[in-house]
Amino acid sequence: MTYATFKPCCYRLKDTLKDTMLSNPEKHQESVEEQKIFEDIVNGVVFDVEPDDINSVDEDVKD
């Protein structure tokens, strides 16, 4: 039963991982978001925020 339910998930993951910058750099089509992130890294863009401006996505995380 586990194999039957897990197998489709594995195929979707395999298909998704075929088109990444690391796995297929020659044929990967960058999204606008990926291009922006890469340009920011190359240009040394730093996002400076105050600690109070950071929102936790995990309700279990406490200071």
pLDDT in tens, 2-61: 767 788 888 888 887 877 777 777 777 888 988 888 898 899 887 777 888 877 766 655
Query: Is the whole-model pTM more than 0.85?
Result: no
Fill in the DSSP letter of residue 52: G
Give the separation between CA 15 and CA 7, rounded to whole angstroms: 13
Tell me, what's the pLDDT at 63? 52
Give the separation between CA 23 and CA 61, rounded to whole angstroms: 34
Which tokens hold the place of 2? 């586990």
Tell me, what's the pLDDT at 11? 87
